[in-house]
Amino acid sequence: MSQASRRPNRVHIIQGDCYVTDESDTVLTTVLGSCIAACMRDPVLGIGGMNHFLLPGEGERAKQNEAERFGVYLMELLVNGLLQRGATRHTLEAKLFGGARTVQGFADIGAKNFEFARKFLDNESIRYAGGSVGGDQGRKLEYQPSTGKARQFLLPRSTVEPPQPVIQRPAPAELGNVELF
């Protein structure tokens, strides 16, 4: 089969997952709302990967077996996975995607996720190469680690509204239940 007709190897990254590869034909995909996907690579060696985290860097307060939901854990996992495959820390670059505010009226977790990811990259001296974050729409993302190319497809805006409080009104009192003083 010729290189031109060869289909890429597609790997879908779910929430709490991380994947690193050095295969040039691999495309990593995910679907994001307020979550963040960090797409990181060593452009010299063509080694790269993606993670998908739900919450910012508060993993130290997580219950046992929940660390994979947190950015601090998944960012470390991604960096270490790249270094184990031969990547060099000073050549790493990262793109960030997601962080949408998909439900109005609640805390903006997407913004907190992005803020955490940017601080992590700064603290680790990893070059931020852009991406697409924020807004009020989810994204479907495709990332090719060997080239660093990313494509996103915006999803329809969410119609999810925060739940409205239910006001409980007491039943009208019957005459026999009223006490007058």
Is residue 35 annotated as part of the catalytic site, yes or no? yes
Per the structure, the count of domains in the chain is: 1
Whether 165 is covered by a domain: the verdict is no
Q: Name the packing angle between helices 109-123 and 71-84 (round to 10°).
A: 40
Which residue, among 60, 55, 63, has the nearest Cα to 16 in the 3D structure?
55
Active-site annotation holder among 18, 27, 35, 78: 35
Does the residue 150 lie in any domain? Answer: yes
Q: Could you tell me the pLDDT band of residue 124, with boundaries at 50, 70 and 90?
A: very high
E strands along the chain, which residues? 9-12, 18-21, 26-32, 36-42, 47-51, 93-98, 127-133, 139-144, 149-154
Q: What pLDDT shows up at residue 70?
A: 82
What range defines the domain where residue 31 resides? Answer: 9-156
| Residue 77 near residue 17 (C-beta atoms within 8 A) | no
* Residues 6-18: tens digit of each pLDDT: 677 999 999 999 9
- Determine, yes or no, domain membership for 40: yes
Q: Residue 143: inside a domain, yes or no?
A: yes
Single pTM value for the model: 0.79
Domain CATH for 32: 3.30.1330.200
Task: For residue 124, tell me if it sits in a domain.
Answer: yes
Residue 44 domain-assigned (yes or no): yes
Best-predicted range by mean pLDDT (41-45, 98-102, 158-162): 41-45
**Do the domain assignments include residue 169?**
no
Q: Residue 145 domain-assigned?
A: yes
30-80: pLDDT as tens digits:
999 999 999 999 999 999 999 999 887 654 554 555 555 688 899 999 999
Q: What is the dihedral of CA 140, 81, 17, 59, to 10 degrees?
A: -120
